[in-house]
Amino acid sequence: MTVLVVSNIDLTTNMQVMKPATFLDSTIKEATLNISNEYRYMKTGYYVSMHAEILGNQVIPSCENIIDSSRTPILLLRAAKAGVPTLPFLVTDSVKKITTELGYPVILFAVNPFIYDGYKIANNKSALYRGMKSLGMNYKFAVCAQPLKGELFTIKSFFGKTANQDTQTQEIAKRVFETFKIPVCNLHIQKTVDKAYLCGLQPVSKEELSEIDLQQISKEVMLISEQGEHFGV
Amino acid sequence: MSKIACFVEKYNFTDPREEGALQNFKSAAEKQGNEFSFLFRENISDVPKYDSVFIRATTDPLNTAYVVSKTAWELGLKVIDDPESITICGNKIHQYALFEKFNVPHIPTVFLNKDELHHKRISEIFDELGKPVVIKAPYTSFSRYVEKAACETSFRDVAKRFFKKSDVLAIQQFTPTAFDWRVGVLNNDILYVCKYMIPKGKWKHGAKLRGKPTVIWGRTVSLHKQELPARIREVALKACSVVGKGLYGVDIKEVNGDYVVVEVNDNPSIYAGYEDSSDKDIYQRIISYLSE
């Protein structure tokens, strides 16, 4: 099969890559691989996948997966269903509920239309109030809270592959990619003494992408466009 | 017997007409032998305890309501509004692209990408659609984020504002009418029919008075669904068929003797004494759909 590669990242390869704006004005009916550093809802990375779906093209990633993977509670729910280790979470705007049901420390992710990046860690009640005030935009929105049981770190995942050496972390990245097919993203993971858990998925900024990262992404893109892998064929 | 959760936010209870409708849903559910509970955002974790979820809080793929909808869906619960309907109705670009693809008659629409905001493209759009045009942000609801532009300066002005949140906008032909048909549809069937009157001297159902922040709304004239012209019925059902099988409010305009869809809304407004005044069975029908 032929795979059309649409990318807003400058890939280090000599294969044909189309700019998002060109694709949005086209009616090309081919399996579409949408590479973007940020698949934010209503940003170009999202509209590329939407346009491909409307054209009836198979596309990586799908609109549904773009939306779901960026809503932390849905990310965790679907990832858990797929066998990825996660911790129980709460979606709430109640400090009391988080305190009694999860305790401290907790990790907070925003669940609102405006904040798409970052998280807060709260070690006590006053930090929790501050975190909920900022991520809940003055308590206007709920947040997603998870217990923090180990060390939280962030890794870049390219097609489910990561430079991190830990096998549990590698397994999480691989499973998350199989489930949501987000080619380029940051994964927030926490590691206790003996186990790693998925906590969140967020976009990678262009500045975070090193020369080696670009080569890595390009290599994967090349493989997929040659073999049609991940398109379910 | 079915346990129904109605997901609401505090603002759903600020207007007594909406609160009245919510109470009507509760009575209808209980009369049919179901449990009906209001679910607020602090108790979202309770979703698995129910058989179905009815969302009345404003929906958008980026709102808590989507999280509730998708969670219920993943757990196999019956849900209005379902996540796919929220995705398609919450983004008018997505919706018009589907109308285009499946030949649903709709207001002439072109899409504008962020990098096309230049003189040549704007002139082309004015040539194609005439002046003024209506600029619509994909996340519009309650007549907000829909503005008119009659010249390039105001076009750029509005577009720049809307581009802050979305990289694509919809530009539509300006089509003033005295009212919009509002057709309530549930599971491919007509539920209720209204005329949403446009306030005098304005061009949309919810309009601002000059220089004032308050929004004035046109009257709602309720009709029996039997009175709905066959052609409107056909257009309304066709438009919903490309979105899904849930609960929708379809806005339709009469233009030159034919009917065109303005948009399909998920999560349509239901106010006691308004949408329900001719067809009073709308509460029972929605509850039956949720509990069957």
pLDDT in tens, B79-113: 999 999 999 999 999 999 999 999 999 999 999 99
Query: Which tokens belong to A162?
Result: 């990561």
- Tell me whether residue A141 is in a domain: yes
Same domain, yes or no: B148 and B195: no
Q: Give B129-162 pLDDT, tens digit per residue.
A: 999 999 999 998 777 889 999 999 999 999 999 9
Burial of B66 (0-12, 13-18, 19+ CB in 10 A): buried
Closest by Cβ to B42, choosing from A81, A92, A112: A92
- Let me know if residue B282 belongs to a domain: no
B277 in a structural domain? no
CB atoms inside a 10 Å sphere around CB B145? 19
Residue finishing a domain among A127, A147, A167: A147
Cross-chain residue pair A24–B113, CB shorter than 8 Å: yes
Residue B217: pLDDT band with limits 50, 70, 90: confident
- Note the pLDDT tens digit of each residue in A27-78: 999 999 999 999 999 999 999 999 999 999 999 999 999 999 999 999 999 9
> Is B98 inside a domain boundary?
no
Look at residue A61 in the predicted model and tell me its pLDDT. 97
User: Measured between alpha carbons, how far is B53 from B79 in angstroms, rounded to an integer?
Assistant: 5
Query: How many other C-beta atoms lie within 10 A of the C-beta of residue B215?
Result: 15
Nearest to A145, CA basis, from A202, A107, A114: A107
Tokens of A66: 């773009």
Q: What is the reported pLDDT for A233?
A: 43
- In 3-state terms, what secondary structure has residue B241? helix
User: A97, B42: Cβ pair inside 8 Å?
Assistant: yes
Q: Do A91 and B166 touch (CB under 8 A)?
A: no
Residue B210 has pLDDT above 80, yes or no: no
Distance (Å, rounded) from C-alpha A101 to C-alpha A52?
A: 43
CA distance A90 to chain B (A): 6
Instruction: Determine whether the interchain pair B70/A74 forms a contact, defined as Cβ–Cβ distance below 8 Å.
Output: yes
Within-domain flag for B152: yes
Structural domain tally of chain A?
A: 2
Considering chain B, what is the average pLDDT of its residues? 94
Q: Tell me if A47 sits within 8 A of B168, measured CB to CB.
A: yes
Q: What's the rounded Cα separation, in Å, for the pair A160 and A79?
A: 13
Residues A9 and A50 in one domain: yes
- Considering the domain boundaries, does residue A125 fall inside one? yes
Contacts of A47 in chain B (CB under 8 A): 93, 113, 167-168
What gap in Å lies between CA A200 and CA B247, rounded to an integer? 32
* Over residues A99-118, mean pLDDT: 94
Q: Are residues A96 and A58 in the same domain?
A: no
B71 interfaces chain A, CB cutoff of 8 Å: yes
CATH code (residue A130): 3.30.1490
Residue A29 is given by DSSP the state -
- Mean pLDDT (chain A, rounded): 94
Inspect the interface and report whether the beta carbons of A44 and B67 lie closer than 8 Å.
no
What residues have CB less than 8 Å from B99, skipping those under 6 apart? B106, B239, B242, B261
Question: If pLDDT is split at 50, 70 and 90, which confidence band does A232 have?
Answer: low
The range of the structural domain enclosing residue B146 comes to 108-173
A60 backbone dihedrals φ, ψ, rounded to 5°: -120, 125
Shared domain check, B185 and B212: yes
Amino acid identity, position A173: A
Tens of pLDDT, residues A132-146: 999 999 988 999 999
**Does residue B172 have a pLDDT over 80?**
yes
Mean pLDDT on B180-206: 91
Whole-model pTM above 0.90?
yes
Residues forming a β-bridge with B181 = B195, B252
For residues B266 and B90, the answer to whether their CB atoms sit within 8 Å is yes
Is it true that the peptide bond before A117 is cis, omega within 30 degrees of 0? no
CA angle A141, A147, A149 (to 5 degrees): 155
Which position has the higher pLDDT, B206 or B70? B70
Could you tell me the CATH number of the domain that includes residue B143? 3.30.1490.20
Q: How many domains does chain B have?
A: 3
The contacts of residue A96 (CB under 8 Å, 6+ apart) are none
* Neighbouring residues of A116: CB distance < 8 A, sequence distance ≥ 6: A40, A70, A110, A202, A203
Domain contains A80: no
> What's the domain range around A142?
90-147
Domain boundary among B125, B142, B173: B173
In CATH, what number is assigned to the domain containing residue B43? 3.40.50.2300
Cα torsion angle, B143, B149, B153, B156, sign: positive
ipTM exceeding the 0.90 mark = yes
